[in-house]
Chains A and B, each alone.
Chain A
């Protein structure tokens, strides 16, 4: 059995590990180092400038706007998406007419709902963003035409053109595209909760809402928690970049009202020739991500102690 074992291990690991080290790990390490330099990205020459990038960041209003928006994303979006998904999957699983003495039953056609809800999940976020850009179009876009048709012709928001509204419009698109995934995920979890838990609770006079908070949510907590972290990483990372870059004017506008950290890193690195400063912003994004993940995981420990 031992014959050639180590040769085999090395032979199998070397290529995947090399790919991963060169294209993922090494750039990560480099980026931390570059954040302490004045590297432009355009020329190979640069010098170490210590904390200059970070000092500059503190006085950069666009950085603070992006930072604020990213924090809003990560605080609001996961909670809203998970709440809607939990509500819908609870409706799917216990909202049905009970038959033959079962305490709870799923609604009829629940598999149809789940198929439809999952549609956005298989589409590219770029396609979704383009589509919604047209829906939001203030002149003759589908949304304003709809408002007009139901007699709200006086209410014609500028949507993505309104600095007070644009951020929420962009977030709504991410919400639209993510809820279905979590409905399907939570439904699978809820279906595995034994029906007699509900039966016992209902016999004891608990309301439906009580059964949700006292049975469903605690038993689903692990799934909710990993979904929360996943959703947070997503709303700070590639997805928030895509929707903001594709949909907003500028992008990031109007007047920095929609910029997020992931997009600002990209703009500084690839449009302004300030790669060193861009990596410093990236490090700030990394910190936000880590603080968020640690916060959610801590919350899990507290919840579990209540059992």
Chain B
């Protein structure tokens, strides 16, 4: 990138003469604008940081208030901390069930996505065979199409297979819709790995399958972690797929459970319980993000930087 375009700045900046004229004076002026710019940029950056953090802090604060003060004084601090909101949300409002369902679904679908995705990607990256390109583009084509269009017939496909409104059905669909990006990402990752190690394993008598599981997968660990984080967040936060394909109240996952909760708590007027549920769902992900910040950012931006 940089080699093609390095002459760019010199060509495109016309006012050369004034710059050459006032050498030392310009240096002084520059420093001043640097300072003004610095204050300005900090100002702008702080404002956006506040815009991001305030709604989140407000939710945390509200989750400790009683129902009346939520509406009478939305911005005041809670008179005392109503921890009972949290326990009510956890047990009575089924937050514990939603968490459990989400953990089960995401655990299986994440494992399945990484296993099937890496198998397909490995074959597509390392083996020449007729139809290789076609299958690869079939997979990555799925990244840019509106999913909702497929969901209408999919609903009935699932119904015919008796997979509608079941946890295994949801797991399979999560895997299928995570494959395009996973295959896209891991194919290019496997291409960057050296071929010599796998060849040595084959010469030593290992089968292709054994080479894949015992040699290539361990080597692909960084790529698996990146794409694993990407899929974990995508599947944990998934809303559209469960809304359409998983409407059984007993099988609801976190995001749709919260939306259902907003409706039902609305009738009961238990807003504080709802806020406790919201914050309960928010905090584990935020905490995990802060701890694994570097890996999460790398995982989520990895695809876009390619």
B154 nearest CB neighbor, chain A only: A27
B152 touches A269 (CB 8 A): yes
Complex interface: chain A residues within 8 A of B296 (CB): 118, 122
Given A19-B116, A123-B286, A246-B259: A237 in contact with B304 (beta carbons within 8 A): no
B52 touches A176 (CB 8 A): yes
Given A127-B255, A293-B144: A265 in contact with B127 (beta carbons within 8 A): no
A31 touches B262 (CB 8 A): no
Q: Is A15 an interface residue (CB 8 A)?
A: yes
* Residues 246-281 of chain B, each 1 if its beta carbon lies under 8 Å from chain A, else 0: 000000001110110010000000000011001001
Complex interface: chain B residues within 8 A of A142 (CB): 55, 58, 74-75
Q: Which residues A210-235 have CB closer than 8 A to chain B?
A: 210-211, 214-215, 218-219, 222-223, 226-227, 229-230, 233
A188 touches B258 (CB 8 A): no
Q: Is A57 an interface residue (CB 8 A)?
A: no
A205 CA / B240 CA spacing, docked (Å): 52
A25 CA / B208 CA spacing, docked (Å): 29
A19 touches B172 (CB 8 A): yes
Minimal beta-carbon separation of B236 from chain A (angstroms)? 7
Q: Is B12 an interface residue (CB 8 A)?
A: yes
Stretch at the interface among B86-94, B118-126, B220-228: B118-126
Q: Is B192 an interface residue (CB 8 A)?
A: no
Q: Which residues B134-155 have CB closer than 8 A to chain A?
A: 135, 138-139, 142, 144-155
B259 touches A107 (CB 8 A): no
Complex interface: chain B residues within 8 A of A87 (CB): 44
B45 touches A92 (CB 8 A): yes
B72 touches A140 (CB 8 A): yes
B148 touches A241 (CB 8 A): yes
B208 contact from A5, A26, A130, A139, Cβ within 8 A? A5
Minimal beta-carbon separation of A9 from chain B (angstroms)? 5
A144 nearest CB neighbor, chain B only: B74
Q: Which residues B84-126 have CB closer than 8 A to chain A?
A: 116-117, 119-120, 122-123
A176 CA / B154 CA spacing, docked (Å): 32
Complex interface: chain B residues within 8 A of A283 (CB): 149
B55 touches A179 (CB 8 A): no
A145 touches B6 (CB 8 A): no
B259 touches A215 (CB 8 A): no
Q: Which residues A240-267 have CB closer than 8 A to chain B?
A: 241-242, 245-246, 262, 265-266
Q: Which residues B177-203 have CB closer than 8 A to chain A?
A: 177, 179-180, 183, 202
* Residues 3-16 of chain B, each 1 if its beta carbon lies under 8 Å from chain A, else 0: 01110111011011
Q: Is A286 an interface residue (CB 8 A)?
A: yes
Minimal beta-carbon separation of B56 from chain A (angstroms)? 7
Given A20-B176, A119-B286, A279-B149: A270 in contact with B244 (beta carbons within 8 A): yes
A226 touches B41 (CB 8 A): no
Stretch at the interface among A47-55, A58-66, A109-117, A157-165: A109-117
Q: Is A300 an interface residue (CB 8 A)?
A: no
B12 touches A219 (CB 8 A): no
A15 nearest CB neighbor, chain B only: B116
Complex interface: chain A residues within 8 A of B48 (CB): 84, 88, 113, 117, 179
A289 touches B144 (CB 8 A): yes
A11 CA / B129 CA spacing, docked (Å): 14
A69 CA / B93 CA spacing, docked (Å): 35
Q: Is B40 an interface residue (CB 8 A)?
A: yes
B286 touches A23 (CB 8 A): no
Residue of B5, B10, B30, B152 contacting most chain A CB atoms (<10 Å): B152
A125 touches B75 (CB 8 A): no
B49 nearest CB neighbor, chain A only: A116
Given A25-B138, A142-B58, A215-B9: A127 in contact with B278 (beta carbons within 8 A): yes
Complex interface: chain B residues within 8 A of A179 (CB): 48
A285 touches B13 (CB 8 A): no
Q: Is A180 an interface residue (CB 8 A)?
A: yes
B304 touches A226 (CB 8 A): yes
Complex interface: chain B residues within 8 A of A210 (CB): 13
A24 touches B41 (CB 8 A): no
Q: Which residues A185-199 have CB closer than 8 A to chain B?
A: 185, 188-189, 193-194, 197-198
Minimal beta-carbon separation of A245 from chain B (angstroms)? 8
Q: Is A236 an interface residue (CB 8 A)?
A: yes
B255 nearest CB neighbor, chain A only: A126
A124 contact from B74, B244, B255, Cβ within 8 A? B255
A130 touches B259 (CB 8 A): yes
A189 CA / B1 CA spacing, docked (Å): 11
Residues of A within 8 A of B (CB): 1, 4-6, 8-9, 11-13, 15-17, 19-20, 22-28, 30-31, 34, 41, 84, 87-88, 91-92, 95-98, 107, 113-127, 130-135, 139-142, 145-146, 149, 176, 179-181, 184-185, 188-189, 193-194, 197-198, 200-206, 208, 210-211, 214-215, 218-219, 222-223, 226-227, 229-230, 233, 236-238, 241-242, 245-246, 262, 265-266, 269-270, 275, 278-279, 282-283, 285-286, 289, 293, 307
Known: A145-B74, A219-B2. 13 other contacts (CB 8 A): A4-B207, A16-B117, A23-B173, A27-B154, A118-B297, A127-B282, A131-B278, A135-B58, A142-B55, A194-B2, A200-B10, A238-B148, A238-B239
Closest 4 pairs between A and B when the two form their complex, measured CB to CB: A95-B41, A205-B19, A282-B149, A124-B237
